Structure 1
Amino acid sequence: MEILRHECGVAMIRLLKPLEYYKEKYGTYAYGLNRLYLLMEKQHNRGQEGAGIGVVKRHSLPGTEYVFRERALGKDAIQEIFDTVRDKIAHYDVNSHTPDEVDMDAPFIGDIYMGHLRYSTTGKSGISYCHPFLRRNNWRSRNLLMCGNFNMTNVDSIFNEVVGNGQHPRIYSDTVILLEQLGDALDKENHRIYRQYRDTLSGTVLTDAIEDNIDMSRILSSTAVKWDGGFVICGATGSGDMFALRDRHGIRPAFYYCDDEIVVLASERPVIQTVLNVARRQVCELAPGSALIVDKAGNVSIRNILGEDTNERCSFERIYFSRGSDADIYRERKKLGSNLVPAIMKSIGDDISHTVFSFIPNTAEVAFIGMVSGFEKELGRIKTTQILNAQMAGTLNEQRLKEIMSQNLRVEKVAIKDIKLRTFIAEGESRNDLAAHVYDVTYGIVENGVDNLVVIDDSIVRGTTLKQSILRMLDRLHPAKIVVVSSSPQVRYPDYYGIDMSRMGEFIAFRAAVQLLRERGMEHILDDTYRHCIEQESKPDSELVNCVKAVYAPFTQDEISHKMVEMLTADGSINADVDIIYQTVEGLHEAIPGHPGDWYFSGDYPTPGGTRLVNRAFINYYEGNTDKR
C-alpha cells in the first residue's frame, strides 16, 4: 500500500571476445548494449527516479573518446537513454565501417558496460546525482567510472579523510566522496607501477605496462576497509579494468555469471537468468566481502577483499524489493503469507465462511497465495473434523457430506488501482478525499455488516496511505470487520543501508509506542532515552548500543498494533471494526532463513554506523528537528 523508495539496481557487462565475434554470432555490434538494456529494464522496479549508463572502449585511438556516459531523470529514463544512444550509433552508421573502425570509433560500442537505476535514499535529486559518476584524467588508466547500490553510514569520516589527503570534492555526497577516494587510490596504484618500470621503460610502452599491471584488489583493499554501510560498488577504468565489490555482511545483493563470451553482474539472479537464458545454477551469488574483478586482458577472478562477516542479508529485499520470479523468493513470500493464518483465524473468530480474502498492492500477491494456501489447509482440517463429528453422531449422509465439502474460501479481487490522481492541487481533507478514490472497489462480494474482509499487504510502514485511502476504500464495501495483514513485521527503526526509511517519527509503530508511553504515564522513558542517546554520541564504536529499543520494550507487538488502529480510526470515519496483524520477527526468520538482516524490525544494526545513526535519529526527533535524518 505504501511505496518504499529503496536500494538501487546495478548491472555490469564485460565482453571477452572481439566485437566482430558478436557481430558474426548475434548479428550486431551492439550485443553488449542490448544485454545492458534488458538487464536494466528487468530491474526497473529498483529505481524509477533516474538511470545512467557508461561504456568503456579499450581500442580507441588517441584523440577519440573511449569513456561514454549517458544519464536521464524520471521513470522513463531507461528508454530515453537508449533512444539517445541508438540515435548516436545510427548516425555513426556501423555498417559503413570496418570491424576495426567500429571497435575504435563507434560511440557506445565497447568492451565494458555499466548500468544504474536510481532511487534516492537521501532526498537529493537531479541529474548530477545520477550514476554512473566519472572521474576524468588524461591517462586512460586513471579514468574511473563508478556506480553502486549503497548507503554509507560514515560519510563524514570518509569525507574528512579525503579532505585531509588534500583533495577538494565538488559535492558532499557519499557517491562523490567514494569516487574521489577510489580515484586517489587508483592514482597511487598508477604511480606505484610507474616507479617500478620508469627506469627501464618509457613513452607508450611504459603506459601499456602500467595499464597491464593495475592491481584492482590492492586499490579496493586500501579504501573499502574504511567503509561502514551496505553496498555493491561497481567500477571500471578507462583502460579496461572492471570490478564489483560487496559489503562484508552481504546487506546489498549481487549475482554474476561468466562464460568464455561474457561476464555479467546484476542485483538480482533471475534477471541474469532471463536476459542470458541460463540456468539458475549457473548464476552465482557474489560472496559478502568479495569482489568480482576482470582485468584489462579479460582475466576473471573473485577476490576476498574485506572478509565475510556475520550474515546480514537484507530481509526486505526478499519481502518486497526483488522480483518474485526468483524461485527462492517466491517460496519465501508464500511462507510469509501462510505463517499469518493462526493470527488471522483468531481475529476473525475462526469464521472462515463469513470472510473474504484479498490483497493490496500487487507486490503482495505471492504472500496472498501463501496465505490462501494456508487457509485451504485449515479449511481442509475443519472439513475433516466436521465429517468425523457427523460420523460419530450418526448424522453423516450424502446431503450433509455435500454441505461440508461445498465450503470454499471466498477469494476475491476487492480493489483495483484505477488512476494516479494528481492530489498535489488539493489540501487537507480534500486531498484525503481524493486519495481515498485512487482504488476502485468491487461491490457485491461482501455481505453488508456480516462478512469480515481480510486484506494482505507486504509492508505497513508509515500508515499514511492506510488512513487516507485504503481503510476508507475498504469501508465502502460495508464489512463487519476489516483485517489488514502485513507479511512483514512492524518497521520500528530507520534503515541506513539503502531504503528510504530514515526519520524516526515517520513510523506508525514508533508513534504508537510514544502515544502508549504518554497515555500510561511513562514519558520518563522518552527523556531517559534521549539522555542515553546523547551519551552514546561520544562513545567508541565498540561500546555503542541502540538506546531506542527502550521505547518499545514495555509493550507487546499486539499492544502497539491495537494502538495503531485507534490512531488510524480516531476521526470516526470508519464504520467497520478494524484489526491490524503483523508478521512476527520469528515468523520472518522461519520463512526467510538465509536473509536474517532485520535491523528495521529488531533494531539490531549490523554495523556501528547504523547504531550511531539510529540514536542520532531519536535525538533529532526529541529535539523537533524533523527535517533531519
Structure 2
Amino acid sequence: MCGIVGVVSNTPVNQLIYDALLLLQHRGQDAAGIVTQLERKFFMHKAKGMVKDVFRTRNMRALPGNCGLGQVRYPTAGNAFSEEEAQPFYVNAPFGVVMAHNGNLTNADALKQEMIQLDHRHINTESDSEVLLNVLAHELAQSSDHGALYPDAIFAAVRAVHKRLKGSYAVVALIAGHGMLAFRDPYGIRPLCMGRSKDGTVMVASESVALEGTSHEFDSDIAPGEAVFIGLDGSIRREQCAENPQLYPCIFEYVYLARPDSTMDGISVYQARLNMGETLAQRVAATVPVDDIDVVIPIPESSRPSATELAQLLGKPYREGFVKNRYVGRTFIMPGQAVRKKSVRQKLNVIGSEFKGRNVLLVDDSIVRGTTSREIVQMAREAGANKVYMASAAPPVRYPNVYGIDMPTKDELVAYNRTTEEVRDIIGCDALIYQDVDAMKQAVGLLNPGLSGFEASCFDGVYVTGDVTADDIYRLNGQRVMTEEDDADASRLSLPNSREA
C-alpha cells in the first residue's frame, strides 16, 4: 500500500505535490519521491524516509516544471532498504516515461521473464512496480504510430496492459512531452480519484483528502479499468479500457488504511467506520452482559469512530484511556518484534483513572498478530482494570493479502486455525468480540449500492481476481520486504495509522 499523486498545472507543481504527499503520509513512510517535467526533461528526487525529511529546500528548487507526480512508499515486495526501489521509476524509451504505482502484481515474476525474453527490456530491481512500468512502456511503443503518440494509442496501450497484468494497481505516469496518464485495475482494488482547482490544475491522488487539502474540488473516482489522459494543456480524455470491469475495493481501506476524512468509491471512510461500530455493538450485546461494561475505550486512532458509535448504542460512557505519543516512529517500520513490543509502551500511555476499578471494553480496528493487543490488555490490567474486554471492528484476519497490503503469512496471524476463545486466551482479555464478515460487508456496502462487492481476502480467503493459488501465496510470501536484520518477523503490518496489531 502506497500513496500516489499526479498534477498537471499552468504553474510550478513541486510545492503542490509535496503538500499532497504530506496528506497521504499515512499510506507509507518508508520512502518518498517526486518527479517533475520541464519541457521534455524530467527532474527527480527520491530517498528513504518521511516526506518532511526527504525534501529540503535545495531539493524542491531542483524540481521545476508545471506537471509532475509523487509517491510515498509502503513496500510489500522487494527490498525496503534499497533507495533504488523508491518510486517514481523512470524508463527512457519510448518517449521517456516515469511512473508511480500503488498495489501489487501477483504475476510479476512471469512478467519479468516476458520482459527479458520476449520484449528485450531490462529490469534492474526486485520491485513489481518497475516491471509494470516496463510493460506499460513496451505497450506504448507497440501502439504508437511510427513514433507519434495520440490519446487513442495510449488507451490501446492500457488495454494491452490490462490483459497482461494480474493483481492490483492504481497508476499515475508522465509521458515526456505528452501529458499524464492515470489508470486503475479492472477490479478497482486500490483507490484513485481526480479533482480540479479553480485555476485549472488537475490532480489525481489515492485519496480525496489529498485533493481537498490542496484546494481541489473532487471530480470523480477513476473507475475500475478506466484510463484518464490529461494533456499538458489540462485537457482530459477518459476511456474504459478493461473488458469486464467490476468494482471490488479493498475493504481494509475502510477498516484501517485510509484517512477518516476521505471518501473513496462513493463511501465516506468515517461513515463506514461508524457503521462498523453499529454492527459491532450488536455483537458485543450478544456476547457480554452490557451492564457489566463500565466504559468504552478506543485504541487510537482509527478505531475511534467505531468505538464512539458502539458506546452510544450500548449507552455506555466513551472515554479516552490511552494517550498516543505522535513523536515515536510508527511500529510497522521497526525491524524486529522485540522493538515493536517496546514501542507499544513508548507510543501509548494509559490514563489510570479511566481504568482503575472498572470493567473496560477496549475497541480496536483489527487484530492481526495479537502481540500489540496482548500488550495493551496487560497495560489496562496494570492500570487497575477489574475486567478487560476486547472488541475488534474487523473480523478475524485469517488469510494473507496479496493485493498490496503486507499481511504476515498465515502462520503469523493469531486467528489462523484458532477459535475466538483460543485467541482470547492468547491476548489475555476476559472476552473477545469480533465483527462478523458478512455484517461488515453489508454495513459498508450500504453506503454505495453500486459496488459489485469487496476485496476482503484477509477475512474471507476469497481472492477476487480469481487467479491466486496456494502456490502464488507461497511465492509472494517469499518476496515480502527484506530487512537489514535477520529477524523472524519482517512484516510491515502494524500499518501506518496507529499500531502494529
Q: TM-score normalized by structure 2?
A: 0.85
Match of 2:482 in 1: none
Find out whether 1:136 has 2:92 as its counterpart: yes
What secondary structure does 1:311 align onto? coil
Find out whether 1:193 has 2:146 as its counterpart: yes
Q: Which one of 109, 123, 127 corresponds to residue 83 of structure 2?
A: 127
Q: Distance in 1 between matches of 2:244 and 2:458?
A: 22
Number of paired residues?
A: 467
Q: Which runs of 5+ in 2 are unaligned?
A: 479-487, 492-501
- Equivalent residues in 2 for 1:238-277 (5 A)? 238-258=176-196, 261-277=200-216
Q: Which one of 397, 410, 426 corresponds to residue 567 of structure 1?
A: 426
Q: Which one of 42, 48, 53 corresponds to residue 67 of structure 1?
A: 42
Per-residue deviation, 1:283: 2.3
- Equivalent residues in 2 for 1:373-452 (5 A)? 373-376=312-315, 409-418=316-325, 420=328, 435-436=344-345, 438-448=347-357, 451-452=358-359
Residues 55-102 of structure 1: per-residue CA shift (max 9 Å, x gap)? 1123x6xxxxx1111102112x345325333344xxxxxxxxxxxxxx
Per-residue deviation, 1:289: 0.5
Match of 2:19 in 1: 38
Residues 508-557 of structure 1: per-residue CA shift (max 9 Å, x gap)? 011x53xxxxxxxxxxxxxxxxxxxxxxxxxxxxxxxxxxxxxxxxxxxx
Per-residue deviation, 1:480: 2.7
Q: Distance in 2 between matches of 1:324 and 1:232?
A: 20
Residues 463-521 of structure 1: per-residue CA shift (max 9 Å, x gap)? 11122x212101113323211111111111111111010412110011x53xxxxxxxx
Q: Distance in 2 between matches of 1:213 and 1:580?
A: 54
Q: Distance in 2 between matches of 1:176 and 1:40?
A: 21
Q: Distance in 1 between matches of 2:330 and 2:216?
A: 41
Match of 1:581 in 2: 433
4+ runs of 1 displaced by more than 4 Å? 211-214, 421-438, 612-615, 617-620, 626-629
CA separation of 1:70/1:473 partners in 2, compared to 1, >3 Å: closer, same or farther? same
Which amino acid in 2 is paired with 1:218?
Answer: A
Per-residue deviation, 1:235: 1.0
- Conservation of the 8 A alpha-carbon contact between 1:290 and 1:307: no
- Conservation of the 8 A alpha-carbon contact between 1:246 and 1:254: yes
Find out whether 1:306 has 2:223 as its counterpart: no
CA separation of 1:71/1:426 partners in 2, compared to 1, >3 Å: closer, same or farther? closer
- Equivalent residues in 2 for 1:167-316 (5 A)? 167-190=121-144, 192-194=145-147, 210=148, 215-258=153-196, 261-278=200-217, 282-295=218-231, 298-316=234-252
Which amino acid in 2 is paired with 1:509?
Answer: A
Which amino acid in 2 is paired with 1:616?
Answer: Y
Structure (1 or 2) with the greater helix fraction = 1
- Conservation of the 8 A alpha-carbon contact between 2:278 and 2:306: yes
Structure (1 or 2) with the greater strand fraction = 2
Q: Which protein has the larger Cα radius of gyration, Structure 1 or Structure 2?
A: 1
Moved more, 593-602 or 439-448: 439-448
Match of 1:476 in 2: 382
Per-residue deviation, 1:167: 2.7
Match of 1:396 in 2: none
Q: Which one of 6, 24, 49 corresponds to residue 12 of structure 1?
A: 6
Match of 1:83 in 2: 57
Q: Distance in 1 between matches of 2:272 and 2:5?
A: 25
Match of 2:30 in 1: 49
CA separation of 1:612/1:193 partners in 2, compared to 1, >3 Å: closer, same or farther? farther
CA separation of 1:616/1:425 partners in 2, compared to 1, >3 Å: closer, same or farther? closer
What secondary structure does 1:52 align onto? strand
Q: Distance in 2 between matches of 1:277 and 1:329?
A: 19
Residues 91-114 of structure 1: per-residue CA shift (max 9 Å, x gap)? xxxxxxxxxxxxxxxxx2323210
Match of 1:333 in 2: 273
Q: Which one of 479, 483, 488 corresponds to residue 394 of structure 2?
A: 488
Q: Distance in 2 between matches of 1:608 and 1:303?
A: 25
Identity of aligned residues (%): 23
Which amino acid in 2 is paired with 1:147?
Answer: A
Per-residue deviation, 1:264: 1.1
What secondary structure does 1:151 align onto? strand
Q: Distance in 2 between matches of 1:425 and 1:223?
A: 35
Per-residue deviation, 1:430: 11
- Equivalent residues in 2 for 1:520-599 (5 A)? 560-569=419-428, 578-593=430-445, 594=448, 596-599=454-457
CA separation of 1:78/1:609 partners in 2, compared to 1, >3 Å: closer, same or farther? farther
Which amino acid in 1 is paired with 2:89?
Answer: F
Residues 273-300 of structure 1: per-residue CA shift (max 9 Å, x gap)? 231253xxx4201110001112455431
CA separation of 1:152/1:361 partners in 2, compared to 1, >3 Å: closer, same or farther? same
Per-residue deviation, 1:124: 1.6
Q: Distance in 2 between matches of 1:319 and 1:162?
A: 37
User: Cα RMSD (Å) of the superposition?
Assistant: 3.1
Match of 2:485 in 1: none
CA separation of 1:368/1:130 partners in 2, compared to 1, >3 Å: closer, same or farther? same
CA separation of 1:177/1:109 partners in 2, compared to 1, >3 Å: closer, same or farther? same
CA separation of 1:331/1:124 partners in 2, compared to 1, >3 Å: closer, same or farther? same
Q: Which runs of 5+ in 1 are unaligned?
A: 1-6, 23-29, 61-65, 89-107, 195-209, 377-408, 514-559, 570-576, 621-625
Q: TM-score normalized by structure 1?
A: 0.68
Per-residue deviation, 1:426: 13
Q: Distance in 1 between matches of 2:76 and 2:335?
A: 27
- Conservation of the 8 A alpha-carbon contact between 1:332 and 1:591: yes
Find out whether 1:464 has 2:323 as its counterpart: no
- Conservation of the 8 A alpha-carbon contact between 1:368 and 1:456: yes
What secondary structure does 2:77 align onto? coil
Q: Distance in 2 between matches of 1:487 and 1:339?
A: 9
Residues 346-401 of structure 1: per-residue CA shift (max 9 Å, x gap)? 4442215x51111112121111121122223xxxxxxxxxxxxxxxxxxxxxxxxx
Residues 567-615 of structure 1: per-residue CA shift (max 9 Å, x gap)? 334xxxxxxx521111101221122104622111001111134344566
Q: Distance in 2 between matches of 1:426 and 1:53?
A: 26
